[in-house]
Structure 1
């Protein structure tokens, strides 16, 4: 391994290529520097379109690096996922509904992200945090209505998924 790496990427020009070496070091081809996992996380937070490639084989390691970031965040003190939720996700592996569960979670997270972006657009960056601190009777009607619609949509999707298993409420 040399100190300087070529900056040419092996994928499309809109992707930022990070190479992972056998010694676990990550090399950012856009800046020609080694970076840490927390710096990869920061790139993701900044919505950079990144791909992590094995420096030797060229295999795509992006998912495993993202999972490693999630694992570190979960172990860091304020977990997002409960043990029950993680156990339920594990139970879907190997199940006929495995493929549907991934798209179900992805759609719902995207819906939540879109809602959060809309709120930020309407009321600034802290709108979401401020709204969550407000008691329900004081919540602005527009936000309450949007939250109600979001809850109804999530409930409908959950009931549809449960129906596929033959589970009725």
Structure 2
């Protein structure tokens, strides 16, 4: 991964973002994923790449709260497809399916923007989107500030 942010996981389970030179939370790693920011997580002591395990940890947190994305049947299928005979085919299928889903979502969004362009609803949607972006930034700043204060108190 060229230009990927390096995050080190310390034995105390804290994550250190070497780009920001500060500790970050699992939720902030999730934000990196959501913003499509490339990153790599390594174990501080061994240097082992543990990015996958951190991503799985994020999925576990998301699945345990609110409305889960995967049913028990789907998770059971995942486990069954770890057999050597179907592993590669299943992986390729999942990657292709996710890529197709993302492309379809983008196409629908673009079509909706074309249909609504210039209408009063378009103006409201744009304003709502800007408000949501500002609100998300405010939330990130608050969480970062609280995280920094917590770190300062613990040091």
Q: 1-side partners of 2:18 and 2:109: how far apart? A: 33
2:8 corresponds to: 19
Unmatched 5+ stretches in structure 2: 117-155
TM-score, length basis structure 2 = 0.69
- Which structure 1 residue ranges, 4+ long, deviate > 4 Å from structure 2? none
2:81 corresponds to: 92
Q: Give the CA RMSD over aligned residues.
A: 1.5
Give deviations 1:39-86, integer Å, cap 9, x for gaps: 000111001001101111111000000000001000012100010111
User: Relative contact order, CA 8 A, sep 6+: which one is greater?
Assistant: 2
State the aligned residue count: 114
**Cα deviation, residue 120, structure 1:** 2.1
The one of 50, 53, 56 equivalent to 2:45 is: 56
**Cα deviation, residue 99, structure 1:** 1.3
Q: In proportion to residue count, which structure has more helix?
A: 2
